[in-house]
């Protein structure tokens, strides 16, 4: 169908719709139905991203909330794309060229892409963090040099509370390596410095007794995953013989159980009269020599 150059675009559009009202309306209804169906399928597909919490624990609840947020974001972006395609297709069916609209959208997309490269990088990294379940709110993690508890996790940033109590915000795009200390179990090593001239049989027996006593204590054994067990001599020189013990605990319980193990070892050594290495005297003597004897005399052991 040809129109006179003197006709306005609006008049041409009205004439086209008048002559093809029936078929045009059917095409528009079909486009609408396809768009609605595509949105419905997209909603179902995005729902597959949600990981329903299996328990009432805080970690599982946080993981479900994060995956639900990710699913909502995926649906929102996909839905906008579907409706944009539907509108452009409808314009073509109405005799309106979609090329100008595509050109404008392309230029706008390029402008946004160049201006928000870091934002896009952060969001993509945040999506991988959630999908791969690297960590959730409440986990204790180490990101680069920062060690702290995750207080907030969005698709753009991760907020940590470090050991000083400071709030540290890290862009997800800057996270290259992350160590999660809250998963499965934690491990610790306890080193005991013995006097080098003391035979090892009695100290090793005392260490085994202290470890067995800790394992048998119901107040502490429930937090133990494995050990404590005596690994043997870790180091030896003229100042001390160092014996190492290993223990595995529930996540983040290793420090308090290590302190309790050291307390029991000290009590057992005092009970059996086993001397410890005079490491304090040696360190103070070395420091005094380095400082030109400016330090006070070392305390007697």
Q: Write out pLDDT tens, residues 217-249.
A: 999 999 999 989 999 999 888 888 899 999 999
Using 50, 70 and 90 to split pLDDT, how confident is the model at 166?
very high
* Band of pLDDT at residue 1, cut at 50, 70 and 90: very low
Both tokens assigned to 2: 């040809």
CA distance 91 to 96: 5
pTM: 0.60
Residue 127, C-beta contacts closer than 8 angstroms, at least 6 positions apart: 70, 155
**CA dist 97 → 24, 87, 168, 251 (Å):** 15, 12, 51, 62
pLDDT tens digits along 71-86: 777 788 788 888 888 8
Q: What is the pLDDT of residues 246-279, one digit of tens each?
A: 999 999 999 999 999 999 999 999 999 988 775 4
pLDDT for position 51: 72
Tell how many helices (H) and how many strands (E) occur in the chain: 9, 8
Least confident range of 53-62, 89-98, 230-239: 53-62
Report all structural domains of the chain as residue ranges with CATH numbers, in order of start.
9-115 (1.10.287), 135-180 (2.30.30.60), 186-281 (3.30.70.100)
Helix (H, G, I), strand (E, B) or coil at 235: strand
Query: In the prediction, which pLDDT does 100 show?
Result: 75
Supply the pLDDT for residue 212. 94
């Amino acid at each position: 169908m040809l129109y006179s150059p003197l006709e306005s675009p609006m008049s041409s559009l009205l004439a086209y719709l008048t002559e093809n009202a029936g078929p045009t309306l059917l095409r528009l209804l079909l486009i609408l139905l396809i768009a609605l169906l595509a949105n419905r399928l997209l909603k179902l597909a995005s729902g597959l991203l949600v990981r329903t919490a299996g328990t009432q624990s805080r970690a599982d609840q946080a993981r479900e909330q994060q995956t639900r947020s990710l699913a909502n974001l995926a649906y929102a972006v996909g839905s906008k794309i579907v409706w944009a395609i539907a509108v452009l297709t409808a314009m073509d069916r109405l005799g309106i060229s979609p090329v100008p609209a595509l050109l404008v959208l392309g230029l706008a997309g390029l402008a946004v892409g160049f201006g928000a490269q870091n934002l896009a990088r952060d969001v993509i990294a945040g999506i991988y963090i959630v999908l791969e379940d690297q960590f959730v709110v409440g986990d204790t993690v180490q990101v680069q040099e920062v060690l702290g508890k995750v207080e907030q996790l969005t698709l753009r940033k991760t907020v940590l509370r470090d050991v000083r109590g400071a709030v540290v915000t890290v862009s997800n795009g800057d996270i290259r390596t992350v160590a999660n200390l809250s998963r499965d179990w934690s491990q610790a090593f306890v080193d005991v410095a013995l006097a080098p001239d003391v035979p090892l049989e009695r100290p090793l027996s005392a260490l085994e007794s202290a470890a067995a006593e800790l394992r048998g204590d119901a107040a502490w054994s429930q937090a133990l995953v494995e050990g404590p067990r005596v690994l043997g001599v870790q180091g030896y020189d003229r100042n001390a013989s160092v014996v190492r013990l290993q223990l595995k605990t529930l996540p983040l319980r290793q420090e308090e159980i290590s302190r309790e193990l050291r307390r029991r070892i000290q009590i057992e050594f005092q009970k059996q009269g086993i001397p410890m290495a005079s490491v304090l005297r040696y360190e103070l003597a070395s420091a005094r020599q380095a400082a030109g004897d400016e330090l006070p005399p070392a305390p007697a052991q």
